[in-house]
Structure 1
Amino acid sequence: MNPGPVVVLAGGVGAARFLRGLVRVVPPEDIVVIGNTGDDMWWHGLYIAPDLDTVSYWLAGQADESRGWGIRGDTFTAQAAFARLTDQSWFQLGDRDLATHWYRTGRLAAGVPLHQVTAELAARLGVRSRILPMSDARIETRLETDAGDLHFQEYFVRERWRPTVLRIYWTGLETANPAPGVAEALAAARLVLIAPSNPSISIGPILRVPGMRQLVGAARSRTVAISPLIGGRAVKGPTVELMRAEGARPDALGVAELYRDLAAGFVLDTADAALAPAIAALGYRVAVRPTMLDDMDSARQVATTALQLLWQPAAA
């Protein structure tokens, strides 16, 4: 299947699992990933970009699929040594993973913009698709909780998403723009896919970059969103909790409501089939199918469904 250029708005693990199926359906060179950087953080002098790295490792065939993050077969010798020196070692970095962060940090310190560093890393990993950060600007996803003000990684990793979230907000947006290449990729895309990522803290930050929502909205007629929820539950992580914190309905219909001005197609799981008529009433073309991304084949089938919802090959 070759519909032409395909752009994917992507978070971390859910998007990465989806992308491993998409690259089996669409030539990898025709895929552009616009990745979330709201999770990025400085960690003991290193610049960490969790979602960009997760997508890169999965597309490179190097991901630790059992964890969902990191590099398969990585060791944690440096992490163990660091933990003996400080109690601030809650963010786990494998030894090979550290090399990625050292490289990125050094290049950023030399004045190289994030989009270029991301491209360099992807090329060195052997990734054939193009991976773009949503912005070169430093944007942070932060949460006001009953345990205080937290960076998303503090909430998600250190606190294991136990605090009650009162508000989600972002710093750095006021000076941000879409990264170079983002606007051009969206304008040229034959199809745009919103990956099955958390709409609040994975897709949400991308869409909040000034000008981004307008760019995606201009491609609405050729955009398909895939629900990250199955039966009103997240496969992993605090999607439901964070949607509630933003006042959104925490189910597939709620996700569809968030994207109604951005997408014309919507894929939801069979467990949520009863919501399909209400989603169609929002103006979507709807596909109902199993969306659990258990393996390569299931990811390929979900990707195929999403592509065929708004695109059909020309007759021979």
Structure 2
Amino acid sequence: MTTVPRITVLTGGVGGAKFIVGLRNAFAARFGERPDSAITAIVNTGDDLWLSGLRLQPDIDSVMYALAGINDRERGWGRKGESEVVSAELRGYGAAWPWFVLGDLDLGAHIARTGWLREGWTVSQVASKLAARWDLGARILPMTDTEVDTEVVVRVDGTEHSMHFQEWWTRYRGSMPALAFENPGIDRAEPSAGVIDALSTADAILLAPSNPVVSIGPILRTPGIREAVVHSAAPVLGISPIIGGRAVRGMADTCLRTLGVDVSADGVAAHYGTRTRGGLLDHFLIDDADAALAPLLSDFGLHAHVRSIWMRDEAEATDLAAAVLGIVSRS
């Protein structure tokens, strides 16, 4: 690896945002400088949606807010110091989902984004414009400029129908058994500007401890991205989102079961696959609680690494990222 490596991370969700912050901090501590363009976060846009005439990008905003230090760590999403005056008004008019609250500060980003999109800006141009407000220390790239919002196929009273992922996730908390997760139009999508270059020139590619199905999955299904990861000369390292057979947060367990993937660290590793056998990974990092799985991962053809992967605060996220930098620097 070069002295100051280029790190590209596939990420989404709150866990991915926490890891990106830790990676920025660990990078600065290790190399004595802010990473800025040296770290590129390729962020899931499958969670995106239109609501009340506005374009929302939850994962893009989660990463941006976390890097800017303005995220609400108590709730785990949105801006800190929020109010909800406008959201209450929208509900009063019947113009918003009553179970999906938009904070006033957060609405500022949605309004700005929607205005620029309607003026003809691309999704990636808008993401760059929004991010320029703060000194983030990393570059954020949407996985694609195409709308490929995740739909969840469910069966109700014997009839199959689809709902937006946010409705399934936020309204029903994943309680409605999912039959499939789909991204209509993704077969015709293209990676946003800079994505393939960030992968092909990276000194290391990381799969954040995000939901493998609905956060990392849509990124890898965007035509050209999976191939770019597989054919990269850089080491590819994944971090398990499962500890001791349970999802660290969110509903990764429910999503994995829908795909028939075992809810375990080795189940996720097998889902991603190893590059020696046509998959994605060279390295996989698992928690101490799953140390007994290391020999099995080695049998898969992976370099297995064991340590605490909890990110209960920024210090733990930074320690985890420092360990990851150490692994890929030796590869």
With normalisation by structure 1, the TM-score equals: 0.95
1:135 to 115, 140, 144: 144
What secondary structure sits across from 1:193 in the alignment? strand
Per the alignment, residue 10 of structure 1 pairs with 11
Corresponding letter in the other structure for 2:168: Y
- Name the SS for the 1:241 alignment partner: helix
* Cα distance in 1 between the residues matched to 2:330 and 2:226: 26
Identity of aligned residues (%): 41
Contact 1:264–1:285 (8 Å) recurs in 2: yes
Q: Is the 8 A contact 2:20 2:41 kept in 1?
A: no
1:126 equivalent among 119, 128, 135: 135
2:42 to 34, 41, 57: 34
In 1: Cα distance, 2:241 partner to 2:85 partner: 35
CA change 1:14–1:133 in 2 (3 A) is same
| Residue correspondences, number | 313
User: What is the rounded CA distance, in whole Å, between the counterparts of 1:174 and 1:221 in structure 2?
Assistant: 26
**Residues 1:116 and 2:125 aligned together:** yes
Q: Distance in 2 between matches of 1:279 and 1:152?
A: 31
* Cα distance in 2 for residues equivalent to 1:125 and 1:91: 27
Which ranges of 4 or more aligned residues in structure 1 deviate by more than 4 Å? none
Give yes or no for the alignment of 1:179 onto 2:192: yes
Name the structure 2 match of 1:20.
21
Residues of 1 paired with 2:41 and 2:234: CA distance?
A: 19
Deviation, 1:83, is: 2.1
Give the 3 Å change call, closer, same or farther, for CA 3–224 of structure 1 in structure 2: farther
1:276 aligned to which of 289, 294, 300: 294
Cα deviation 1:235-289 (Å, max 9, x = unaligned): 2211011111011121111111122211211101111111111111111111111
> Structure 2 residue aligned with 1:47, among 42, 51, 55?
55
CA distance in 1, matches of 2:233, 2:268: 16
Residue 167 of structure 2 is aligned to residue 158 of structure 1? no
Gaps of at least 5 residues in structure 2 are 28-33, 274-278
Structure 1 unaligned blocks of 5 or more: none
Q: CA deviation at 1:181?
A: 0.2
Partner of 2:276: none
Deviation digits for residues 171-216 of structure 1, max 9, x if unmatched? 0112201111001111111111100000000000000001111001
Farther-moved stretch of structure 1 (257-266 vs 47-56): 257-266
Distance 1:221 1:286 in 2: 17
Query: Any conservation in 2 of the 1:220–1:263 contact (CA below 8 Å)?
Result: no
CA contact (8 A) 2:196 2:224 kept: no
TM-score with structure 2 length normalisation?
Answer: 0.91
Residue type matched to 1:107 in 2? W
Q: 1:2 and 1:105, CA in 2 relative to 1: closer, same or farther beyond 3 A? A: farther
Residues of 2 paired with 1:268 and 1:126: CA distance?
A: 32
Any idea what the Cα deviations from partners look like across 1:284-304, whole Å, max 9, x if unmatched? 111111111011111111112
Letter in 1 for 2:20: L
